[in-house]
Structure 1
Amino acid sequence: MKFNYLYLPLLLLVLGCNESKNSKTFTLNNKTQKSDSEFFVEFEPLSKKYVDQKKNDIEYYYTKLIGTPDFYGQFLVAKNGKVLFEDYKGYAYYEKKEENRKDKPLHIASVSKVLTAAVVLRLVDEGKIGLDDKVSKYLPNFYFDDITVRMLLNHRSGLRHYGYFIETDVKWDRSKRITNQDILDLINSGKIHLESKPDTRFAYCNTNYALLALIIEKVTKLRYHEAMDKLLFKPLGMKNTFVFDYEKHHDTVSQTYKASKLRLAFDHLDLVYGDKNIYSTARDLLKFDLATYSDKFFSPKLRKEIYKGYSYEAKGEKNYGLGIRLREWKEAPTLTYHNGWWHGNTSSYITMKNDKLTIICLSNKMTHKTYQTKKFLALFNPKYPIKLDNTEVSNGANE
């Protein structure tokens, strides 16, 4: 399977495009859409009765758990590729009175890791990257020779979070914004020690994905921003998704707020990409999610590597695959998801392959309500050990 670096068909074509003899149709947002995409997957249609009932149920619990008047953000639930419910609230840019809407990108925080991983994994399917290749193959003179690409993806590298080591080990000047290359240079200086021996334990670490972004650049010979756009966003029709560029975007993007509506400033960590700094919408993330069901997007062999756990040093249901979090329940299908938290932005992306279910919540005003999304699983499969009537608020740590 080869990337077409010049052009890939769009995943979703707007109604009214010329239909080729091979095009197929599907329902999105109550409209019939046409797709010529090589990533198109046809799902079983849902009955009107089922859709109406689920919409009512979702709306009731959404209003109760998330969509209160103080919520700023986007919420979407889809099954079998069909949107059952979506809502957009609050302000993307309060000072300009710019409201949140379906086509307004929000910072998706660590859900960005899912998209970074997707491009790396597509390049693995291409044969351009090996999962068990050493990082030093792509980033010459990398200081820790035992670390592999797979260890970056599943957070088993033993590397420390750059946000911590620049404070404790090198006393970074906060008036200077740090870059991915700065992070690599600091690691290669030998001044930064490992948190643990590579591949001995799981430790969620943004440094891993900052390095994966550099590997994407080395392999594609494109800036990460361009590579993500060319290899993922454009092919999937993610028209409202982009990588943040401070000089270009800082006063035009959606802003981020404390719960009190106080706007938060950008800081010295806001140039680092790969681990964060992608802006997207709930609808665009749904387009991405639908593509992941296609064997042309991820090969069946690679998909098995992505959605399995790698860390069993400690007992428990929590685990991590390749760019995706897991809750490995004994009596129910594994929960596959990713959360995010950066400044006042919180995000949650749930993709349940067995039930063909997608739940997305994005917020640009600080709230833990975003992490309530997993509760909506109870509306679709009674096997999930989830209760809707008891609110469970996460503290957001390591999301």
Structure 2
Amino acid sequence: MRQLFTSLLGLGLLISLPSTAQNLPSTAQKLKNNQVDIPEITSGLEKYKKDLGNDFVVIVHKDGKDVYRREFGEMRATTQEPIGAASQWLTAALVMSYVDEGKISLDDKLGDYLPIFQSYSKGYITMRMCLSHTTTIESDPPIFRTALKKKKFDTLEEEVASFAKDRNMKGRQGTQFYYGTVGPNIAGRVLELVVKRPFDRVMRDRLGKQLGWRRTNFMSDGVYAENPSAGAKSSPDDYMKFLTMLLNKGMVGEKRVLSEASVNELMKKQTGAASIAYTSPVSQGNDYGFGCWIQEKDEAGVGTLVNCPGVTGTWPWINRSKGYAAIVFTKGDMPEQKRMVFEEIRELIEQHLN
């Protein structure tokens, strides 16, 4: 009997081995604290530690699981930090969740929600133009660090009202692309009016609860008002939940957060024939969707490689053609990013994924 038991136990172990091997890339190693290592990626990241500020987290998600997950320095996957322009992807997805419900249309005009825009001949600007940075409303100069630290308004309502009454149009609406803060903040204010709650509360009650966020918010910290374009604080864990939802065509497990059509809408070019007045220095040459940059696209024009980097800090991306999502999450006050660094990191990761 003992011999039979030993034989069955050995057989069971042999059967279980292939299953475990299928869960991770062949070179991956499980570490403590839920970290997963692919040594070739970790050793390759060594040369970028200074560029990334020494404290950072890298997570890669593929086939329903994290296939690489490493914490460097003092940064943890649960650490909350400002994410700058990576906020815009969250804001755009929140708007699309209400488009799915029919409470907002992308072609709704601002004058229907904000009479002050009608009063100042800006009422024909649409929600689509707000999310795609084609309102043509005069924007702040592209010095985002200074703009974010300077207190101008106590509320999002005050800021958006100033866009209507205090800023000129630089051309006909929809004819100029200027990457900045104006459009997403107007869209955020429209959501406040539709849902009748502050923007941060809308975000946490909608995406936050559906995605199981623990450390993501757009709360005003007393220095500046809620800022849908660049004011989020998040963690690597939370942002990865958002990326995997998009990678899974709007699904979280058996629950639908966004329609597949809305996910595709986020990731296709939305700027039309608008001329380029200003674009992010780390995204030059890429098309723009809603809240994200399109680096590669399929024959239908839908992005297959999309990202949402800022000049500082977090750099999230999705490669749909290779079936994975990834994030390099850094401190929000780190040195300005170099696009070449992140392109090399992406290539390093793809080289060692199965």
Q: TM-score, normalised by structure 1?
A: 0.66
| Equivalent pair of 1:362/1:370 in contact (CA under 8 Å) | no
**Which range moved further: 205-214 or 117-126?**
205-214
Matched residue, 1:187: 163
Aligned twin of 2:238: 284
Deviation digits for residues 157-211 of structure 1 (CA, Å, limit 9, x no counterpart):
112224689xxxxxxxx6754532222222332x311233211132112111111
Unpaired stretches in structure 1, ≥5 consecutive residues:
1-31, 33-44, 91-98, 166-173, 248-265, 383-399
- Give the 3 Å change call, closer, same or farther, for CA 330–314 of structure 1 in structure 2: farther
Report the secondary structure of 1:286's partner residue: helix
Deviation at 1:48, TM superposition (A): 4.4
SS in 2 for 1:350: strand
- Which amino acid in the other structure matches residue 44 of structure 2? Y
2:257 to 275, 292, 297: 297
Q: Deviations over 1:291-331 (max 9, x none)?
A: 22244332233333221113355698411011211113699
Contact 2:55 2:330 in 1 (8 A): yes
From 350, 358, 365, the equivalent of 2:317 is 350
Instruction: Indicate the residue corresponding to 1:376 in structure 2.
Output: 345
- Aligned pair partner of 1:337 in 307, 310, 329: 307
Aligned partner of 1:147 in structure 2 is 125
Any gaps of 5 or more consecutive residues in structure 2? Answer: 1-19, 30-35, 144-149, 251-255, 277-283
Is the 2:153–2:159 contact (alpha carbons within 8 Å) kept by the matching residues of 1? no
Whichever residue aligns with residue 180 of structure 1, its letter is L
Q: In terms of Rg, which structure is larger?
A: 2
Alpha-carbon separation, structure 2, partners of 1:136 and 1:231: 25
> Are 1:360 and 1:373, in contact at CA under 8 Å, matched by a contact in 2?
no
Counterpart of 1:38?
Answer: none
Deviations 1:224-275 (A, max 9, x none): 111111001122111121223314xxxxxxxxxxxxxxxxxx6xxx324101
- Give the partner amino acid of 2:66: V
Q: Does 1:318 align with 2:286?
A: yes
Q: 2:77 aligns with which of 92, 97, 102?
A: 102
Residues 76, 85 of structure 1: 8 Å contact kept: yes
SS in 1 for 2:313: strand
Question: Among 138, 158, 162, which residue is 2:136 paired with?
Answer: 158
Aligned residues: 298
SS at match of 2:46: helix
| Counterpart in the other structure of 1:392 | none
* 1:285/1:176 CA distance change after superposition, 3 Å: closer
TM-score, normalised relative to structure 2: 0.74
- The CA RMSD measured in Å over matched residues stands at 3.2
Aligned-residue sequence identity (percent) comes to 24
1:368 to 1:192, Cα distance in 2 relative to 1, 3 A: closer
Paired letter, 2:133:
H
Distance in 2 (CA, whole Å) between partners of 1:324 and 1:223 is 24
Match of 2:112 in 1: 137
Amino acid of the structure 2 residue aligned with 1:145: G
Residue equivalent to 1:72: 55
Within 5 A, what are the aligned runs for 1:1-399?
A: 46-49=23-26, 51=28, 55-66=38-49, 70-90=53-73, 99-142=74-117, 143=120, 144-162=122-140, 177-189=153-165, 191-247=166-222, 270-292=224-246, 293-295=248-250, 296-311=256-271, 312=273, 317-328=285-296, 334-341=304-311, 345-364=312-331, 365-369=333-337, 371=339, 372-379=341-348
Partner residue of 1:42?
none
- Contact persistence 2:307–2:317 (CA under 8 A): yes
